[in-house]
Amino acid sequence: MTRSSGKIKRIVVKIGSALITDGGRGLDHEAIAQWAEQIAQLRLSGIDVVLVSSGSIAEGVSRIGLKQRPGSIHTLQAAAAVGQMGLIQSYEASFQKHGLHSAQILLTHDDLANRNRYLNARSTLRTLLDFGTIPVVNENDTVATDEIRFGDNDTLGALVANLIEADLLIILTDQQGLYDDNPAENPNARFIEKADADDDQLMQFASPTGGALGRGGMQTKIIAARKAARSGTHTVIAYGREDDVIKRVVKGESIGTYLKAGKEQMVARKQWLAGHMRCAGELVLDEGAVRVLQKSGASLLPIGVKQVKGDFKRGEVVACVSPQGRIIARGLVNYPADEARKIIGHPSKQIPELLGYEDDEELVHRDNLILLDN
């Protein structure tokens, strides 16, 4: 098994609380500046980077003057609200030194479980990347409850990797990577350089708990790697204080533990879409749209659709049907049925006039469409 040698176009970098805070004394601004410099160099080289950063609660605990992480949910939420200000200020100042802007995105697991909000988050992140910004994602700990008890953003990093179809998820931690036993207790513990993300044996090796400031043990990182692998994203768990660690991982150096996704990105996505046997509705295409989809692998535009059947919501799976009734594709639709009926047969430039707004120019984007009959 070798580390992926394909061209990396999009990555997610997750930084945990133990790394980003200076031993509980607030944010480590020098470390943040170093990570920001690496990310900026990747961005300026043409690689899209989304940063998933913990640290708001730990920073808030320091700012408020608490001696330790509180147990009360309301106190944790208050600490997160205070700490988030310092966290995003530090990132913005660091990225501005390299001529880049950051953007704050606060999410909960519910946002990514709801298909409509999932697509909204996806569209926002993609637009921010198109603008050349560095989205900084954190869990919305000021309103969430379960999230601040679990995962230290490891799970969120994986879900964001799914969301933007990242090639690589880099989880930076205060450990070198994964061992087959606790190296602090067993000097003969073997370091695991490479493994399959879905290898069941990995969970037997990992600690389930994190440190005092964070809540993510190595088990949550393995679970995150498995979730990321669903969309074909590989994962590297590495020591965040390593010199130029982010850039070196992207270059393919053997740093940390590399957990390989079992499926290629498009294969994994096709299986997910193809597995939706029950479609919420149908889009009946004209012959021209059928040819374009089958020959060019393009997106489905409103002008190529003759009829809308069913009562579906934005983000649900619909069937793309030929004039003869043959299902040629399935995909995630960008508009609900009532709005789709208003725009079909029209050029995309007329969508704002017909609906009063424009969300996407496509009814189904090619990244969310799978051909079933060629």
Mean pLDDT calculated for residue range 284-291: 95
Q: Where are the domains of the chain?
A: 10-267, 275-371
Question: What pLDDT score does 272 carry?
Answer: 54
Q: Whole-model pTM?
A: 0.75
Model confidence pLDDT, tens digit, residues 303-322: 999 999 999 999 888 999 99
* DSSP codes joined into one string, 144-189: -SSGGGSGGGHHHHHHHHHHHT-SEEEEEESSSSEESS-TTT-TTP
Q: Where are the alpha helices (DSSP H) in 259-336?
A: 265-274, 287-296
Instruction: Decide if pLDDT at 18 tops 90.
Output: no
The contacts found for 342-348 with CB under 8 angstroms, 24 or more apart, are: 343/302, 344/283, 344/302, 344/303, 344/305, 344/306, 344/307, 344/308, 345/302, 345/303, 345/305, 345/306, 346/302, 346/303, 347/301, 347/302, 347/303, 348/301, 348/302, 348/303
Provide the CA 5 distance to its chain's centre, in angstroms.
21
Mean pLDDT calculated for residue range 87-94: 95
Distance CA 106, CA 56 (A): 11
> In sequence order, which residues have a C-beta less than 8 Å from that of residue 34 and are 6 or more positions away?
none
Distance CA 300, CA 226 (A): 31
Instruction: Decide if pLDDT at 122 tops 80.
Output: yes
Model confidence pLDDT, tens digit, residues 349-371: 999 999 998 788 999 998 888 88
Q: How sure is the predictor about 26, in pLDDT bands with cuts at 50, 70 and 90?
A: confident
Q: How sure is the predictor about 114, in pLDDT bands with cuts at 50, 70 and 90?
A: low
Least confident span in 2-11, 182-191, 205-214, 347-356: 205-214
Question: What pLDDT score does 146 carry?
Answer: 57
Q: How sure is the predictor about 207, in pLDDT bands with cuts at 50, 70 and 90?
A: low
Mean pLDDT calculated for residue range 267-283: 67
Mean pLDDT calculated for residue range 127-134: 95
Distance CA 348, CA 307 (A): 16
Model confidence pLDDT, tens digit, residues 59-74: 888 888 887 777 788 8
* Higher-confidence position of 158 and 144: 158
Question: What pLDDT score does 56 carry?
Answer: 87
Instruction: Decide if pLDDT at 254 tops 60.
Output: yes
Is there a contact between 60 and 82 (Cβ–Cβ < 8 Å)? Answer: yes
Q: What is the CATH number of domain 10-267?
A: 3.40.1160.10
Distance CA 211, CA 33 (A): 24
Instruction: Decide if pLDDT at 289 tops 90.
Output: yes
Q: Match domain 275-371 to its CATH number in 3.50.50.100, 2.30.130.10, 3.40.47.10, 3.40.50.1100.
A: 2.30.130.10
Phi-psi region of 99 (alpha: psi -120 to 50; beta: other; left: phi over 0): left
Provide the CA 260 distance to its chain's centre, in angstroms.
17
Question: What pLDDT score does 50 carry?
Answer: 98
Instruction: Decide if pLDDT at 149 tops 80.
Output: no
Q: How sure is the predictor about 17, in pLDDT bands with cuts at 50, 70 and 90?
A: confident
Question: What pLDDT score does 203 carry?
Answer: 84
Instruction: Decide if pLDDT at 374 tops 70.
Output: no
Question: What pLDDT score does 62 carry?
Answer: 83
Average pLDDT over the chain, rounded to whole? 86
